Amino acid sequence: MSRATQIGTIWKLRAVYALLGVMLFYGVEQLFLNKYLHSSAARGYSTVAFIIALVVFDVPTGVLADRIGRKACLVAACLAQMTGLIVMGVSNRLWVYLAGSVLFGLYLCLFNGAAQAYLYDWLASQDRTKQYAKLQGTMYAWWMVGAGVANLCSGFVAHYWGLRSVYFLSIIPGLIALAVLRKLHEPPREQKAGAAWYSHVNDALQEIRANKHIISFALQFMAATVVLLTIGEFGQIYILSFGVSTIMLGIYWAIDAGFAAGGRAFAHGLQQHPRIAMVLFCVVLAVFASVHSAYGIGLFWLAYGLNEALANIAETEVQDATSTHIRATMLSMVSFASNAVAIPAVLIFTAYYRHHGIIAANRLTTIAVVAVLAVTMLTRPTTKHLSAEATR
């Protein structure tokens, strides 16, 4: 494969990530929920519906990507995303918005495992898998750059054209991403001829039982997911509690996306030192949970970025420890377990927030997550991979 072709594939993937990140509704979604759904628990219900979709679809879509190919699942992901945007954008009732949230969950399930496995398989075909941590981190950073641009614009778009417009205008970058995806070629991968669908799950379970390394980093990924879907998902409520305007909310959320992009982009630098990354994250999260002023917004940004770095480190280690023919399935199973744990976590978080406020709810999640990460640090096997090439 020529150097130009290699660079072209990387840039096409980056473009897809960036375009799918340009979701204008992210930055002002809480305002939409307040105006059209009139429910103080709408955020919690929407998050739970989204997570349930992840739990239901994670493993099947992972198996699907291993069976029919990564590219086909990526195309399906774009279609699911655009359909979800339409449903959410036209909603006036909670159940309609929840249906859109389910479709958005389906989109993420189709995209995440397939996109990550696509990149790893493409690198494996060139004997460059040690570069995966760095490249995957930058891929997701491009997604966050797209989200940051969208968040920066969302407040202005919502202010001048209305809150519904942010959903419908987000369809445009989805269509462009679909066009870019059609230019990608399916990477070579190992396949088991005649293998039954359930054999992918069985093989993944066997690898999990035989490799404590996978279990350890799956727990780290689980903790990061819980933080993302509680403290992170309710972040707009936290920011609005300090009297932030519509336009400023979009700007603040864009800064948050920038920190997340930085966390993903520089995660490979901490790949050899996961315990240091976890200690730093736990300290920042604990300080954030104890602050009762607007200064906490800055700590929220920093904790969000470190949380993304932890997720990237964990996902890379799981990828490296997994056989290629079940790579998407394994990622989906880890995501499935994480989201299954997140459902009760979000329900508890929502109930606690409604009765005691957002700061108390953030503190509750912090205590639980720090406890899990402390146990993980004490029982973790030695990090086994990534040469110096991976940290260049």
Domain ranges of the chain: 9-183+207-381
Nearest to 204 by CA among 59, 384, 72, 376: 59
Q: Given this model, what pLDDT does residue 292 score?
A: 84
Cα(first)–Cα(last) distance of the chain, in Å? Answer: 22
- In DSSP notation, 154-183 reads HHHHHHHH-TTHHHHHTHHHHHHHHHHHTT
Q: What share of the chain is helix, strand, coil (3-state, %, to 5)?
A: 85, 0, 15
Does position 286 have pLDDT exceeding 50, yes or no?
Answer: yes
Task: Choose between 346 and 129: higher pLDDT.
Answer: 346
CB 187 within 8 A of CB 6: no
DSSP secondary-structure letter at 293?
S
Does position 305 have pLDDT exceeding 80, yes or no?
Answer: yes
How many C-beta atoms lie closer than 10 Å to residue 349's C-beta?
25
Average pLDDT value for residue range 55-66: 84
Q: Given this model, what pLDDT does residue 15 score?
A: 93
Tokens of 360: 């108390």
CB 324 within 8 A of CB 189: yes
Q: Given this model, what pLDDT does residue 218 score?
A: 86
- In DSSP notation, 238-282 reads HHHTTT--HHHHHHHHHHHHHHHHHHHHTGGGGTT-HHHHHHHHH
Counting residues of the chain whose pLDDT is more than 70, the rounded percentage is 91
CB 201 within 8 A of CB 105: no
Binning pLDDT at 50, 70 and 90, where does residue 294 land? confident
Binning pLDDT at 50, 70 and 90, where does residue 41 land? confident
Average pLDDT value for residue range 287-306: 92
Average pLDDT value for residue range 8-35: 89
pLDDT digits (tens, 9 = 90+) for 204-233: 778 777 777 788 888 888 999 999 989 998
Average pLDDT value for residue range 164-192: 86
Please state, in angstroms and rounded to a whole number, the distance separating the CA atoms of residues 68 and 72. 7
Does position 388 have pLDDT exceeding 50, yes or no?
Answer: no
Give 159: exposed, middle or buried? Use CB within 10 Å, 0-12, 13-18, 19+: middle
Q: Given this model, what pLDDT does residue 191 score?
A: 58
The answer for residues whose C-beta is within 8 angstroms of residue 164's C-beta and 6 or more apart is 32, 89, 90
Radius of gyration of the chain (CA): 20
Q: Given this model, what pLDDT does residue 299 score?
A: 95
The answer for residues whose C-beta is within 8 angstroms of residue 83's C-beta and 6 or more apart is 103
The angle subtended at Cα 44 by Cα 49 and Cα 363, nearest 5°, is 130
DSSP secondary-structure letter at 128?
-
CATH 1.20.1250.20 fits 9-183+207-381, yes or no: yes
CB 123 within 8 A of CB 132: yes
pLDDT digits (tens, 9 = 90+) for 139-157: 878 888 888 888 888 888 9
pLDDT digits (tens, 9 = 90+) for 255-279: 888 898 888 888 877 777 778 888 9
CB 246 within 8 A of CB 159: yes
Q: Given this model, what pLDDT does residue 190 score?
A: 61
Counting residues of the chain whose pLDDT is more than 90, the rounded percentage is 33
Reduced 3-state DSSP string for 82-121: HHHHHHHHHCCCHHHHHHHHHHHHHHHHHHHHHHHHHHHH
Average pLDDT value for residue range 175-188: 87
Q: Of 40-54, 188-202, 367-381, which gets the smallest average pLDDT?
A: 188-202
Q: Given this model, what pLDDT does residue 385 score?
A: 46
